[in-house]
Amino acid sequence: MELVLSTLDQEPTKLVQESLVPCMKALISDELLRHTDEDAKILVISCISEIARITAPDAPYDDEQMKAPILV
């Protein structure tokens, strides 16, 4: 998924933005943020970073979601 996200331009079309919503929600789930595999956590963080880049200057997550602890 990180590779796909890295190929997207900043400010994608509305259709692409809407298709990212399920992915964005999944990435901030406790199951992924607290995954026991260190490589999985790194991939999650990388994907969140790519989504932040794609959606800039608009924040993809609200303040509380961004405060969620990622145990790396």
The whole-model pTM stands at: 0.81
Element of type H or E holding 35: none
Averaged pLDDT, 44-55: 92
| 11-38 pLDDT, tens digit each | 888 999 899 999 999 998 989 888 899 9
Angle of the 38-55 helix axis to the 14-27 helix axis, nearest 10: 150
**CB distance 45 to 70 below 8 Å:** yes
Place of tokens 């964005």: 24
Q: What residue spans define the domains of the chain?
A: 2-66
